[in-house]
A and B are shown apart, each in its own frame.
Chain A
């Protein structure tokens, strides 16, 4: 797994300080878009804090009840601010980080396209609009993960993420269509108001399973967690932006958004709590095992996503408030830590924990930002992370169903997070003499400004929690629970159980940090003992799929015309035969009709001709037999009042003889390619013939509606002044059809002529 995240982010031939030396030019220009968006969203803060919402709508596909509608409420605004705000710093950072890269422009385009898609996703007020943006984030993320398209690992990771989240997206689409059908509307605001109706519906469970599949794949819940660490093949700004702060939270957003419509049932509570708890624990254990700082961070992201899922399973206000607070905390510290790892990679030449150390002196600003972010991550006061952690414990204890399970999972996961925070943010900067592959140098301002501001915000909000409590968390919780809520955040909650759990967490975390070298070795041994990791299972799954495709291609697409025909005819026989039998449409004739000799004679003539054509060994006999069939059919037309058909049939037969006769002169005998054993062919042809005959018997046994014919008969003279009804239909009533048909005849003739002439040109150049 380590090699899949090999540091291929930038051209290897560039020195550490070169980026700083390069003139910035118009590098800041693309960052204007997220900055402007962030400002616009910030301007909406007072409205949202006052309990209001902003809605925009335009018809999109009115016939299907689909509109392009956007809604800004507390939940959307929280996400929108994170997306545009972090987007601003990441865009700025990427200009320097990838400076001189040949495809920097492309990269910026993908990044901004992703940002717009993500914003559309969180602002959508229509299920279909939401889904379209959901898929757009999947697509743009594919481009971003596979940005180093020359690397096979990147391509594999990109494809893996695309397939997995794309499959989840399909499940989500199915769920949303069901949901829209049940609720009678695709507008989210209407669906969310009909929660009781949806929960009592028979289709509730399928809807829930499909929506959860979408959310869990996008947000990397176990067992779909493996794509996220692999996605670290992307350049670091992408990891910071998509795979920690924004895109992976799309699943969390979906769960939060659907909360009023789907939550509260046992199925919801248990699936979210269990999947969340397992994901959090599994991911934090794997995180300890990593030495690549980026991978360790990736697994802690998975852990955070699990925690968020776990808390969204609950109904209690404090649990949801904990989820929303932790969401903000996590986005702030995780984005800055990823950016810091990128700085280490860029400035010191490595992001391997074992190769770095004592860099604080050379990179003081980065070290300070790292410390602030890590303290928030570990949940030390007075950082926002502390408030988030206290709220989590409070929320865990408030969950009615299984407080012990949730609280234990939360404490363990947090303890491991403390340890990982230490590994990521302390070890590279402190302890002994500087160790790094390159001479470390402080990063330019465009690189460190993001981490410093984001980590600083973690401290600022921790000191003054009221800044976000009223304006963001409270409206968001209100939106999630669908009822007015009051949320107060404070650093000091008094001496209570959550505080005790916090102390326990620190103690455990410290113990793990101290002993983590030994733990890691143990974990590596354990991993080697596992039958397969999820990533390997995925590979086997894909290999199996490819083998299946190859096998069915070999079976069905043999390249043999007769096999294609066999499969086609067999399908016809089975499909029509089963339908006939199932609908009971088979009618056998009651009695043989009284027929004249001429009728019997022509029928016998045709049948004999057909059988002879099928069995003849020579071309001449076959052509003669075909002619017999054609003339016999013409006779039938004469006998049953169709002189036009009879004449046409006879003339066509004449022409067929001319053409076939001419071509036959140049073709070899019929024996070429003849096969001996054709038992299966005989069985199949008899079966198809029987099915067709039975169908036709069923048709003639049913009453005939002559309304159209009656109309033509009465209108023929009166309206079209013609007494030959067949011709009147052809050239007047249905003239457009006839026009199409003569066009086909002309095209067939010219096509055949082109084939003939093509041969000739080749022979005589």
Chain B
């Protein structure tokens, strides 16, 4: 699509969407959001970029093959699940660390659950872009 306005606006818009998608991903455990929603958002952002600048530019901006991103995401999700097994818990049990927790302050929460959600995020981004870019290039 050869529109200067669209191309210019897209640069800003895509950056905002990606940022927002990460925000949605990270806040998902406590507020509406999460890996699925974040992944869809990021996927749509890149799809918009592909429509405005062409699929080749989108693939360059992505740096990795979308299929590879999906598979890496699947692997991360699996590792997050296996992590629990290493501590003797059943598979996919959440593991938590509260970094610097005090009596009043619960500190910075880190968890295998977040890693799992990141895996979901990557799978969704990868899958959506595999489809969108593939179809765009074909047609």
* With contact pairs A651-B40, A731-B113, A735-B116 given, residues A749 and B33 touching in the complex (Cβ less than 8 Å): no
Instruction: Tell me how far the C-beta of A762 lies from the nearest C-beta in chain B, rounded to whole angstroms.
Output: 12
* With contact pairs A644-B33, A728-B29 given, residues A659 and B44 touching in the complex (Cβ less than 8 Å): no
Q: Which residues of A contact B113 (CB under 8 A)?
A: 720, 722, 731-732, 735
Q: Which residues of B from 27 to 49 have beta carbons under 8 Å from A? A: 28-37, 40-41, 43-44, 47
Q: Which residues of B contact A438 (CB under 8 A)?
A: none
The answer on a CB contact under 8 Å between B70 and A644 is no
The answer on a CB contact under 8 Å between A746 and B127 is yes
Q: Which residues of A contact B37 (CB under 8 A)?
A: 644, 647-648, 651
Q: Which residues of A contact B138 (CB under 8 A)?
A: 756, 759-760
Q: Contact check: which of A647, A652, A735, A745 meets B123 at CB < 8 Å?
A: A745
Instruction: Tell me how far the C-beta of A553 lies from the nearest C-beta in chain B, rounded to whole angstroms.
Output: 37
The answer on a CB contact under 8 Å between A752 and B131 is yes
Q: Which residues of B contact A727 (CB under 8 A)?
A: 28-29, 33-34, 117
The answer on a CB contact under 8 Å between B29 and A723 is yes
* With contact pairs A644-B37, A655-B40, A735-B92 given, residues A742 and B119 touching in the complex (Cβ less than 8 Å): yes
Q: Contact check: which of B35, B96, B132 meets A658 at CB < 8 Å?
A: B132
Q: Which residues of A contact B78 (CB under 8 A)?
A: 739
Q: Output the nearest chain B residue to A719 by Cβ-Cβ distance.
A: B94
Segment from A62-70, A198-206, A662-670 that makes contact with B: A662-670
Tell me whether B5 is interfacial, beta carbon within 8 Å. Answer: no
The answer on a CB contact under 8 Å between A742 and B44 is no
Per-residue CB proximity of A723-742 to B under 8 Å, as 1/0? 11011101110011011001
The answer on a CB contact under 8 Å between A659 and B132 is yes
Interface size class of A (residues with CB under 8 A): 35 or more
Tell me whether B71 is interfacial, beta carbon within 8 Å. Answer: yes
Tell me whether B124 is interfacial, beta carbon within 8 Å. Answer: yes
User: How many A-B pairs fall under 8 Å by CB?
Assistant: 144
Q: Which residues of B from 117 to 139 have beta carbons under 8 Å from A? A: 117, 119-120, 123-124, 126-128, 130-132, 134-136, 138-139
* With contact pairs A658-B47, A739-B81, A745-B124 given, residues A724 and B109 touching in the complex (Cβ less than 8 Å): no
Q: Which residues of A contact B41 (CB under 8 A)?
A: 651
The answer on a CB contact under 8 Å between B81 and A742 is no
Tell me whether A654 is interfacial, beta carbon within 8 Å. Answer: yes
Q: Which residues of A from 389 to 404 have beta carbons under 8 Å from B? A: none
Tell me whether B111 is interfacial, beta carbon within 8 Å. Answer: yes
Tell me whether B15 is interfacial, beta carbon within 8 Å. Answer: no
The answer on a CB contact under 8 Å between B40 and A750 is no
Q: Output the nearest chain A residue to B129 by Cβ-Cβ distance.
A: A749
Q: Which residues of A contact B119 (CB under 8 A)?
A: 742
Q: Which residues of B contact A749 (CB under 8 A)?
A: 66-67, 70, 126-128, 130-131
| Complex: A508 Cα to B109 Cα, angstroms | 105
The answer on a CB contact under 8 Å between B70 and A746 is yes
Q: Which residues of A contact B40 (CB under 8 A)?
A: 648, 651-652, 655
The answer on a CB contact under 8 Å between B136 and A721 is no
Known contacts A648-B36, A727-B117, A731-B113; 12 further A-B pairs (Cβ under 8 A): A647-B32, A651-B41, A655-B43, A662-B136, A721-B96, A730-B35, A731-B28, A735-B116, A739-B116, A742-B77, A742-B119, A743-B123
Binding site for B on A (CB under 8 A): 643-644, 647-648, 651-652, 654-655, 658-659, 662-663, 665-666, 720-724, 726-728, 730-732, 735-736, 738-739, 742-743, 745-746, 748-750, 752-753, 756-757, 759-760
